[in-house]
């Protein structure tokens, strides 16, 4: 079991490294394709001490607070979320019963 966990962890770490390397290579390829450094070409996510930007859009704290208040006011009923919760609960109960039958 320890070897399985170790191998799984190593494979997962290698996959993360491969993904990050691919992202870096893609970014470098975009810069090479343009042929020059464009000041408008921004990172996907950048966070400074006072402000945050996502895809070039600045996010202010008062915007987040207003959106949070609006969501609390709406408090709409989400049918699909409720059905998903019911489905997951029923699958959990069924799998627990099946495991108990197998163990006993």
pLDDT tens for each residue of 68-83: 777 777 766 677 878 8
Residue 101 lies in a domain: no
Q: Cβ distance 79 to 72 under 8 Å?
A: no
Instruction: Report the predicted TM-score, pTM, of the whole model to 2 decimal places.
Output: 0.35
Whether 69 and 26 map to the same domain: the answer is: no
Q: Indicate the number of domains in the chain.
A: 2
Query: What range does the domain containing 34 cover?
Result: 1-38
Residue 9 lies in a domain: yes
Strand-pairing partners, residue 89, are: none
Tell me what pLDDT residue 54 has.
Answer: 60
Residue 104 lies in a domain: no
Whether 88 and 49 map to the same domain: the answer is: yes
Residue 103 lies in a domain: no
Q: Tell me how many degrees the CA angle 25-29-30 measures, rounded to the nearest 5.
A: 120
Tell me what pLDDT residue 47 has.
Answer: 53
Whether 14 and 47 map to the same domain: the answer is: no
Whether 54 and 23 map to the same domain: the answer is: no
Flag whether pLDDT at 101 surpasses 70: yes
- Mean pLDDT (the chain) is 78
pLDDT: is 59 or 92 the higher one? 92
């Amino acid at each position: 079991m320890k070897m399985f966990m170790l191998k799984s962890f190593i494979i997962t770490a290698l996959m993360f490294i491969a993904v990050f390397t691919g992202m870096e290579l893609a970014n470098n390829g975009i810069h090479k394709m343009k042929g020059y450094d464009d000041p408008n070409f921004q990172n996907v996510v950048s966070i400074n001490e006072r402000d945050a930007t996502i895809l070039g859009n600045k996010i202010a704290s008062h915007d987040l607070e207003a959106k949070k208040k609006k969501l609390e006011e709406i408090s709409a009923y989400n049918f699909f979320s409720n059905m998903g919760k019911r489905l997951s609960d029923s699958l959990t109960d069924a799998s627990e019963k099946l495991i108990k039958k197998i163990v006993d």
